[in-house]
Amino acid sequence: MKVVIVTGAAGLVGSACVEFFAQRSYIVVGIDNDMRQVFFGSEASTRWNRQRLSELYPKYYRHVEADIRDRSTIENLFREYSSDIDLIIHTAAQPSHDWASRDPHMDFSINANGTLVLLEAMRIHAPKATFILTSTNKVYGDTPNQLPLIEQATRYDLEPQHRYYGGVSEDMPIDQSTHSLFGASKLAADVLTQEYGRYFGLKTGVFRGGCLTGPCHSGTKLHGFLSYLMACCIKGTEYTIYGYKGKQVRDNIHSSDLVQAFFEFYQHPRCGEVYNIGGGRENSCSVLEAVQLCEQVTGKLLQTQYCAQNRQGDHIWYISDLSKFKAHYPNWRISRSLTDTIRDLYIGQTSRMAA
28-81 pLDDT, tens per residue?
999 999 999 999 888 889 999 999 999 999 999 999 999 999 999 999 999 999
* Averaged pLDDT, 253-259: 97
pLDDT tens column, 271-297: 999 999 999 999 999 999 999 999 999
The pTM of the whole model exceeds 0.85: yes
Q: What was the pLDDT predicted at 149?
A: 98
Q: How many domains does the chain have?
A: 1
* Averaged pLDDT, 161-187: 96
Q: Residue 354 — pLDDT band, cuts 50, 70, 90? A: confident
Q: Residue 135 — pLDDT band, cuts 50, 70, 90? A: very high
| DSSP string covering 8-43 | TTTSHHHHHHHHHHHTTT-EEEEE---HHHHHH-GG
Output the CA–CA distances (angstroms, integers) from residue 154 to 92, 174, 244, 287, 337, in the order listed.
34, 28, 11, 9, 20
Give the C-alpha separation, 336 to 252, whole Å.
Answer: 10
The answer to whether the CB of 307 falls within 8 A of the CB of 241 is yes
- Judge whether residue 313 has pLDDT over 80: no
pLDDT tens column, 232-241: 999 999 999 9
Nearest to 343 by CA among 259, 254, 257: 254
Q: Looking at per-residue confidence, does 184 or 217 come out higher?
A: 184
- Mean pLDDT across the chain: 96
- Judge whether residue 303 has pLDDT over 90: yes
Q: Residue 97 — pLDDT band, cuts 50, 70, 90? A: confident
- Judge whether residue 311 has pLDDT over 90: no
Give the C-alpha separation, 152 to 140, whole Å.
Answer: 24
Q: What was the pLDDT predicted at 43?
A: 82
Q: What was the pLDDT predicted at 1?
A: 84
Is residue 67 left, alpha or beta, with left meaning phi > 0 and alpha meaning psi from -120 to 50? beta
- Judge whether residue 220 has pLDDT over 90: no
* Averaged pLDDT, 86-112: 95
- Residue ranges of E strands in 104-260: 130-136, 150-151, 156-157, 203-209, 211-213, 239-242, 249-254
Q: What was the pLDDT predicted at 332?
A: 98
* Averaged pLDDT, 295-321: 93
- Judge whether residue 137 has pLDDT over 80: yes
Can you give the residue range of the structural domain that contains 193?
3-354
3-state class (DSSP) for residue 248: coil
The Cβ of residue 21 has, within 10 Å, a number of other Cβ atoms equal to: 26
CATH code where residue 341 lies: 3.40.50.720
Q: Residue 217 — pLDDT band, cuts 50, 70, 90? A: confident
Q: Residue 218 — pLDDT band, cuts 50, 70, 90? A: confident
Q: What was the pLDDT predicted at 352?
A: 85
The answer to whether the CB of 85 falls within 8 A of the CB of 129 is yes
Q: Are strands 156-157 and 284-286 parallel, antiparallel or unpaired?
A: unpaired
Q: Residue 268 — pLDDT band, cuts 50, 70, 90? A: very high
- Judge whether residue 222 has pLDDT over 80: no
